[in-house]
Amino acid sequence: GESVGLHLPTLSVQEGDNSIINCAYSNSASDYFIWYKQESGKGPQFIIDIRSNMDKRQGQRVTVLLNKTVKHLSLQIAATQPGDSAVYFCAENIRPGAGSYQLTFGKGTKLSVIP
């Protein structure tokens, strides 16, 4: 199940099941999005990206879905494995004013895989 509150949202999934991690982004003008995975004690690692002219992109065991109408992004992980346990971040490329684009991160969701 998923819990949201003052703490980092956590999603607990049985090994072998599919996981869906959701993210709401802020800027309707954002045109590029990335999902990152951060394992304990490590830096965020690129998983998959999607441009705003697409609504779905697939990688190896991962799929990203983009719904621009409601500004929603999701990451689907097929056949979740213990090694998928990590904190997952969505990030959007925002251009504040006339400046350069900068990657802005969402709050993160902790995925715990139950063996």
The piece of 54-62, 67-75, 76-84, 86-94 that touches other proteins (CB under 8 A) is 86-94
Q: What is the 3-state secondary structure (H, E, C) of the chain?
A: CEECCCCCCEEEEECCCCEEEEEECCCCCCCEEEEEEECCCCCCEEEEEEECCCCEEECCCEEEEEECCCCEEEEEECCCCHHHCEEEEEEEEECCCCCCCEEEECCCEEEEEEC
| Choice between 83 and 115, CB closer to other proteins | 83
The residue within the footprint of other proteins, chosen from 1, 43, 97, 115 (CB under 8 A), is 43
The piece of 15-23, 43-51, 54-62, 66-74 that touches other proteins (CB under 8 A) is 43-51
Binding flag, residue 87, other proteins (CB under 8 A): yes
Binding flag, residue 85, other proteins (CB under 8 A): no
